[in-house]
Amino acid sequence: MGRLAGYVLLWPGLDAAAFCGAARAPRPQVREWIWAAGKTAFGAGLIWLGARLAWPAYPACAAWIAMMGLVFLLHLGAFHMVSLCWRAAGVRAAPIMRWPIAATSLGRFWGGRWNRAFSDLMQPHFFAPWARRFGARNAMLGVFLVSGLLHELVISLPAGGGYGWPTAYFAVQAAGFCLERGRLGERLGLGRGFRGWLFTMLVVAGPLPWLFHPVFIRHVILPMLRAIGAT
């Protein structure tokens, strides 16, 4: 029961079977602690220094710097530190971010390198049953649609506008996935090597202003920066 309480209250991941299982995790090395602490500090610096410097002349730029800082501070940094603490205690709590910058395909990026917790949620509840009924590719397209709708709830709804843009972002991801897995993508090598990496980064990062649209920046991010003293 104590392990289950720790999973519910003190762990951002969603792989309950691994976290609550009997198998012990290997003790993390010192260099991993240093790396996680460095990412956390870098994220804090982007928010409270980088965004502050950009704010007077370029508020929108300050917002993007802060959002990148939040990713480093939380997803890449603090959550990694939490993973280290649990693994030091023998608990199998793998980091939820697995070097997303190194993904050489959209399938690998969204399939476990970026926010593994989301993948752990989608895999058993959406992808697996849909794949058995409609096929793996159609199931993946359905997961992208669900992702778009969920991001509408956490981005557009709090912002009070910009509806449809997060869904459009994940529609681009679905189109990129189909291109990557199609014959043309196979011939161009879009799912492997440097070409795959470049294609993945362009598709993921290029339409980011659709995901974090101006209404969200104006009504959520900029007020948040003022509230936390980062301006």
DSSP 8-state code for residue 228: T
Position 133 in a domain: yes
The mean predicted confidence, pLDDT, of the chain is 94
Looking at the structure, tell me whether residues 75 and 140 fall in a common domain: no
Pair (207, 127) in one structural domain: yes
Q: Are both 221 and 146 inside the same structural domain? A: yes
Same domain, 174 and 109: yes
Query: How high is the pLDDT of residue 76?
Result: 96
**Are 106 and 152 found together in one domain?**
yes
Whether 86 contacts 26, CB under 8 Å? no
Q: Is the pLDDT of residue 215 over 90?
A: yes
State residue 136's pLDDT score. 86
Under 8 Å between Cβ of 85 and 47: no
DSSP helix, strand, coil percent of the chain (3-state; round to 5): 75, 0, 25
In a domain, 95, yes or no: no
Residues 67 and 159 in one domain: no
Burial 17-35 (b: 16+ CB within 10 A, else e): eebeeeeebeebeeeeeee
Full residue range of the structural domain in which residue 9 is found: 2-88
> Which of these, 15, 195, 18, lies nearest to 105 by C-alpha position?
195
Residues in the chain, overall count: 231
Give a yes or no: residue 148 inside a domain: yes
- Does pTM top 0.75 for this prediction? yes
Pair 112, 170 in one domain: yes
pLDDT at residue number 221: 96
Q: What is the Cα–Cα distance from 86 to 4, expressed in whole angstroms?
A: 13
68 with 168, same domain: the answer is: no
pLDDT tens sequence across 83-137? 999 999 999 999 999 999 999 999 899 988 999 988 888 888 898 999 999 998 8
Last residue of a domain, one of 62, 88, 114: 88
Number of domains in the chain: 2
Residues 48, 224: contact at Cβ < 8 Å?
no
Crossing angle (nearest 10°) for helices 165-181 and 193-205: 160
At residue 178, the pLDDT reads 93
97, 80 in Cβ contact below 8 A? yes
Rounded percentage of the chain residues whose pLDDT exceeds 90 = 82
Give the pLDDT mean for 68-72: 97
155 lies in the same domain as 223: yes
pLDDT, residue 119, reads 87
Residue 143 has pLDDT above 90, yes or no: yes
* Model pLDDT, residue 3: 87
Q: Is residue 94, in this structure, part of any structural domain at all?
A: no
Residue in 72, 70, 62 with CA at minimum distance from that of residue 226: 62
**Residues above pLDDT 70, as percent of the chain:** 100
Q: Which amino acid is at 77?
A: G
The two tokens of residue 63 are 């917002």
Q: Is pLDDT of 1 > 90?
A: no
Number of C-alpha atoms within 13 angstroms, CB side, residue 77? 17
